Amino acid sequence: MRTAIVILGQGALATARRLQEIYPQARVLGLKDRVEGADESYANFGDTLRQLYRDDTPIIALCAAGIVIRTLAPLLVEKGAEPPVLAVAEDGSAVVPLLGGLGGVNRMAREMAAALDVAPAITTSGELRFGACLLDPPPGYALADIEQGKRFVSDLLGGDTLRIEGDAPWLDELDLPLAEDAAHTLRIDACAEGIAQNELRIHPCIVLAHVTLVDSQLPERIRQGLAQAGLAAASLAAVVAPRCRMADPALAEAARQLDVPLRFIHNDDELPPAVLHGDSFHLHRAATPLEAQGIGQPRGRLSVIGLGPGASDFMIPAVRRALDEAQDLLGYETYVKMAEPLRDDQVRHCTDNREEMQRARHAFELAASGRRVVVISSGDPGVFAMAAAVMEALHESSDPHWHGVELEVLPGVSAALAAAAKAGAPLGHDFCLISLSDNLKPWETIEKRLDHAGAADLAMAFYNPISKARPWQLGRALEIVRRHRSPETLVVLGRDIGRPAEALRVVTLGELVPEMVDMRTLVIVGSSLTRRFPRAGGGNWVYTPRWYR
């Protein structure tokens, strides 16, 4: 989950940016009308903080700890299910972990304090005494019983000793009160047998359920199989199936109900020895969680996304999540840079803007290997952008692994809609979008469409209006439009809308000349009914009425 750094005043922005260097994909949320330069704005501190908490989002609040405590107090019901919440002084002089002891809050506090060169205000007794939280094992391990774990740690803090049975390498560096004859035992194993009174049980996730037949009862049968084999349900590491089943929704639902990853194998030789053979599945036991995690591959995911016009405020949350989760990002270099912040471990595959089909095929090759891949467009991916190229590449392919990829198209604010919104509502009635590029279609087709759109009195938005390689097409297009429109027809020119250098201009069709336009300009030609009126502060609002005479 992407961390939220919440600030109330301009003075906290510098510290927020320093923290963002530790967590590059964190977003800085600034209070509206009080903070300039934040990644996102919010109107109400309390409502925002509570919603982030409900969404299980890690929170770093640059304000007094008391404000955070009073804000979240009504939501503090279940200690075992809370995201990390920290209060940090505006100047970075104090880091205070407040909530989320089992979610890594103290680890985050240490990371931030080290970057800010201060001491973290950690008050958790067990962590101060032993150097880490015993009830928060690393990935690949699961705590059996949180309540018994609390009593166990309390006994150790009271002076009792313990012995460790099983392989727990992360405990080697801790300052634990170890003794061979200790009455308390920290046991690492996958067994489902009852936990002793003075025992802390941690289950390694080492069991794989290899599925051969899927139906609605599969999750329950796997749970019964684990119990029959004497294995804890928490020791289940993954559901495994042949690669040909990648697109099976029932299989995905079974893994979801069991709350484990779904992985796919080429053949059964990849699996460790079986410990139980069932009618529709077999249970296999790996030696370590690391071995279990390395078996098979996940279903690859290919997300075709639109960034919108450029400003982060115009990017839908689903797009930001896809970018955050991606392992590989493909696109025109300018658009990949617009998708920042990105992690250092994310692979960028930047290509020329004319290499759409090669980019789409490369994306499927990566996703078919089990990776999470994002293909980036500006605006909306389905409007003269990469979604059609990706669909075409898949349509042409007979590779079953490509067709097994989880494919999604996530919309963005198109250039036409962004420019129209800045101007008012010039596309308020029927309209059409036309690309003036003849790279992929004959110019004769473009002329025919311009003529018909003009005759239909549609408002028109022109994409790719002009370039060094196509210097004359816009002039010819205007000649065709002028057959059907008067010189007083309003035209909106939106250049780099949503980006720092954005510029909006309203002219008439009679005034418009190609020299006013470049490749980064979106041209909207109004219908015969499009009109304008003065806006407060200068300029004009432009709109096309919803009615038609």
The per-residue pLDDT for 104 is 83
Locate tokens 């590059």: which residue?
24
The per-residue pLDDT for 125 is 79
Q: What is the Cα–Cα distance from 298 to 513, expressed in whole angstroms?
A: 54
Are 220 and 275 in contact, with CB atoms under 8 Å apart? no
The per-residue pLDDT for 113 is 94
- Copy the structure tokens of residue 480: 């065709």
Mean pLDDT of 296-314: 92
SS3 164: strand
Q: What is the Cα–Cα distance from 507 to 525, expressed in whole angstroms?
A: 10
The per-residue pLDDT for 353 is 73
Average pLDDT of the chain to the nearest whole number: 93
pLDDT digits (tens, 9 = 90+) for 257-289: 999 999 999 999 899 999 999 889 999 999 999
Q: Which residues contact 206 (CB under 8 A, 6 or more apart)?
A: 190, 235, 237, 285, 286, 287, 288, 289, 291, 292
DSSP 281-320: EEEEE-SSHHHHHTSSEEPPEEEEEE-BTS-GGGS-HHHH
Are 495 and 502 in contact, with CB atoms under 8 Å apart? yes
pLDDT digits (tens, 9 = 90+) for 355-387: 899 999 999 999 999 999 999 999 999 999 999
Share of the chain above pLDDT 90, in %: 77
DSSP 324-390: HH-SEEEEEHHHHHHT----TTSEEEEE-TT-HHHHHHHHHHHHHTT-EEEEEESB-TTSSSHHHHH
Does pLDDT of 416 surpass 60?
yes
**Taking the model in full, what pTM does it have?**
0.81
Categorize the per-residue pLDDT at 81 as very low, low, confident or very high, splitting at 50, 70 and 90.
Answer: low
> Please, which residues bridge with residue 274 across strands?
284
* Residue 207, H or E segment: strand 207-211
Does pLDDT of 1 surpass 80?
no
pLDDT digits (tens, 9 = 90+) for 132-166: 778 888 899 999 988 888 899 899 989 999 999 99
Bridge-based pairing of strands 297-298 and 372-377 is: unpaired
Mean pLDDT of 57-74: 94
Q: Which residues contact 118 (CB under 8 A, 6 or more apart)?
A: 92, 93, 94, 95
- Copy the structure tokens of residue 355: 């290499």
Are 10 and 41 in contact, with CB atoms under 8 Å apart? no
Residue 296 region, left (φ>0) first, then alpha (ψ -120 to 50), else beta?
left
Phi, psi (rounded to 5 degrees) for 315: -90, 130
Q: What is the Cα–Cα distance from 165 to 171, expressed in whole angstroms?
A: 12
- Copy the structure tokens of residue 91: 């100047």
The per-residue pLDDT for 80 is 53
- Copy the structure tokens of residue 13: 């922005």
Q: What is the Cα–Cα distance from 198 to 160, expressed in whole angstroms?
A: 10
The per-residue pLDDT for 341 is 82
407 Cα distance to chain centroid:
15
Q: What is the Cα–Cα distance from 60 to 73, expressed in whole angstroms?
A: 16
pLDDT digits (tens, 9 = 90+) for 114-127: 999 999 998 887 77
